[in-house]
Amino acid sequence: METIQNSAKHNWKRDLRSKILDGFFAGWLLLFLLIVLRIIVDPIGYRFGRLGLLNYDVFLIALAVFCLERALSARRADTTLAWLGAVGGLLTWSAVELSCMVGQTPLVALTGVMLFILILLIVFVLWRKGLSVGGKFYMMVVLICWLVKYILAGQEFVRVWLPAFSPDLHLVGLPLC
């Protein structure tokens, strides 16, 4: 009994380190990556135009597929697979948003909603059939980013129809005009 308590006392440092590195640090790193990917779009667009943005989009897709392939490998630790899946999902989402921006097609349209539902159903089936840890993180990041896009678009809709919510929406970064 005493050895179990001593071992628990020594494990709290490792558990705290794991929670910080795999929790907070991972979130901040993914947010930083998203910001960097968004900042790079404007200079490429100004310098090279739509063709440069398309090349950047193809590069993002290639990196996303590379990360997904590595995330589905069974030869790595689960934390590594989760990192690769999350980074691959973020790269995929950035590529989807950039392609919608370059093609001037809104992602928050009826076809986008139907595609979201289709992908969500496919993910549910794959999840139940035993999707690996990396694949789960990949799909979670892509679907959460897509859901946030819909939530922000819904807030814009609410702002137009219910002006009382305008100050609240301004706090989350939506323009008031």
Is residue 151 within 8 A of residue 174, CB to CB? The reply is no
Residue type, 11: N
Let me know: does 125 contact 73? Beta carbons within 8 Å: no
pLDDT for the residue 176: 41
For 109, phi then psi, to 5°, come to -120, 180
Predicted confidence at residue 8, as pLDDT, reads: 56
What's the confidence (pLDDT) of residue 86?
A: 94
- pTM score of the predicted model: 0.78
Tokens standing for 9? 């006392």
Q: Number of C-alpha atoms within 13 angstroms, CB side, residue 75?
A: 2
Say what the pLDDT of residue 1 is: 47
The domains of the chain are located at 2-138
pLDDT of residue 177: 41
Q: pLDDT 10s per residue in the chain (177 long)?
A: 455 555 556 676 667 777 777 778 888 888 899 999 999 999 999 999 999 999 999 999 999 999 999 999 888 888 889 999 999 999 999 999 998 888 877 777 777 788 888 888 888 888 888 888 999 999 999 999 988 888 877 777 776 776 665 555 555 554 444
Cβ–Cβ < 8 Å for 138, 68: yes
